[in-house]
């Protein structure tokens, strides 16, 4: 999460192509491609690039800065939720997305896409809510309004700190945090202090809120034995969204079968197939709505309540090779 004023018209440093290349390379090597992580990467990048087809739909950054004073004064939930997906410049975006790629792949692969998506939603709400609560508490109890209560901040890093806490919660290993070797479970705290020392313009409160959100999420998850309600909701929504896709796919398959024909050629045994009739000239099973054989052109007629076939001498004399040739010509 970065604080400060928005710099319009930032010149590209050529880092986005490197991000794209790195992401494609990482996904290419994976046997299973985590879809939620890919969607988060795409959403953050598209919002930063702001292509013309999204320009009218996306609010400007001035409308979504995370500012505790404006959120509480105007009950502005747009700032509360959308500020996470905005970045002040290219280096800010690329640094966060590189971190998201690494953490997202590990977490989503280990817990599954539905569980990972529900965790991201929960961490987003918790981290933003805790940050807001901390800023208000500093104002009320310590009369410390600036810079925390009135600061403007955007970025995905608060959520990344929360994900780091979840990822390293059960790790017994050591990790390298900007050259400092620390136990993995304390890596988020070490990174919080080091980043604040060397990059003072970042949002300390936003990063701290992310760490506390990760700890609270683990506590809540450990104390609740039932199914995660967010996971259940997301699973149901996913199933609901997949239904139109399945319907269209099944309709397309049915239509394709009808276009290509339903029957088979050959065999002297007559089988009872629903909605089909067998040509007596070439033994091809045709759809019931056809009056002439698709294969050889022999007509079908109804006499005395039963079915009979008028077989022409010409169709009887056709060889199997000729029948195959005509079918190829008929269906391309």
Please list the active-site residues: 157, 207
From residue 81, give the alpha-carbon distance in Å to each of 67, 257, 290, 327.
Answer: 12, 47, 59, 60
Nearest to 38 by CA among 120, 127, 135: 120
Nearest to 100 by CA among 155, 171, 29: 155
Interior CA angle at 26 toward 237 and 168, to 5°?
70
Non-local CB neighbours of 4 within 8 Å, separated by 6+ positions: 88, 152, 201
Length of the chain: 332
Non-local CB neighbours of 261 within 8 Å, separated by 6+ positions: 286, 287, 294, 331
CA distance 100 to 123: 14
Q: Phi, psi (5° rounding) for residue 306? A: -115, 180
| Chain centre to alpha carbon of residue 179 | 34
Is 228 buried (19+), middle (13-18) or exposed (0-12) by CB count in 10 A? middle
What's the token pair of residue 295? 């294969």
CA distance 35 to 45: 15
Nearest to 69 by CA among 129, 7, 133, 150: 150
């Amino acid at each position: 999460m970065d604080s400060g004023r928005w710099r319009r018209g930032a010149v590209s440093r050529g880092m986005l192509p490197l991000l794209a290349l790195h992401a494609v390379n990482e996904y290419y090597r994976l046997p299973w491609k985590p879809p939620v992580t890919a969607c988060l990467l795409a959403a953050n990048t598209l919002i930063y690039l702001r292509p013309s087809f999204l320009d009218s739909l996306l609010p400007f950054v001035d409308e979504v800065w995370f500012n505790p004073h404006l959120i509480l004064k105007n009950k502005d939930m747009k700032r509360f939720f959308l500020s996470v997906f905005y970045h002040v410049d290219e280096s800010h975006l690329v640094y966060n997305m590189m971190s998201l790629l690494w953490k997202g792949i590990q977490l989503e692969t280990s817990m599954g896409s539905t569980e990972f998506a529900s965790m991201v939603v929960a961490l987003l709400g918790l981290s933003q809510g805790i940050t807001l609560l901390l800023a208000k508490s500093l104002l009320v109890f310590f009369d410390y309004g600036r810079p925390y209560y009135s600061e403007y901040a955007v970025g995905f890093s608060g959520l990344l700190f929360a994900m780091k806490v979840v990822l390293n919660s059960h790790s017994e290993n050591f990790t390298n945090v900007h050259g400092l070797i620390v136990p993995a479970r304390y890596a988020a705290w070490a990174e919080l202090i080091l980043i604040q020392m060397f990059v003072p313009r970042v949002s300390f409160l936003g990063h701290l809120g992310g760490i506390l959100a990760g700890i609270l999420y683990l506590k809540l998850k450990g104390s609740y034995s039932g199914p995660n309600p967010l996971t259940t909701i997301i699973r149901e929504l996913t199933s609901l969204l997949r239904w139109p896709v399945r319907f269209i796919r099944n309709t397309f398959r049915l239509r394709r079968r009808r276009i290509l024909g339903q029957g088979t050629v050959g065999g002297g045994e007559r089988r009872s197939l629903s909605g089909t009739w067998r040509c007596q000239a070439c033994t091809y099973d045709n759809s019931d709505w056809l009056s002439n054989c698709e294969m050889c052109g022999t007509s079908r007629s109804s006499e005395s309540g039963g079915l009979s076939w008028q077989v022409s001498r010409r169709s009887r004399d056709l060889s199997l090779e000729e029948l195959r040739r005509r079918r190829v010509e008929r269906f391309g």
